[in-house]
Amino acid sequence: MGFLRKALMFYIDGFKNLKLGKVLWKIIVIKLLVIFAVLKVFVYDKTLSHIGDDEQKSHFVLENLTSY
């Protein structure tokens, strides 16, 4: 845990006094938010959450995997 804290403090101290550093941190945070928003919408499919029990889910997956 000490290593992570030291690494975090290193980056915080390094970017704290830089004008460009603050802009870069804002860009990084915005970029991460956009990436996670896109992943949530397009990648994390909730198809199986609408199907009832485990047997129906396994049948659904089997049919979709073997139908192509």
Tens digit of pLDDT for each residue in 55-67? 988 888 888 888 6
- How far is Cα 15 from Cα 27, in angstroms, rounded to an integer? 13
Whether the pLDDT of residue 29 is over 80: the answer is yes
Helical spans, DSSP H, in the chain: 2-16, 19-42, 54-66
- CA separation for the pair 30, 16 (Å, rounded): 18
Look up the domain containing 51 and give its range. Answer: 2-66
How many domains in the chain? Answer: 1
Interacting residues of 22 by C-beta distance below 8 A, sequence separation 6+:
15
pLDDT at 65: 83
Question: What's the pTM?
Answer: 0.47
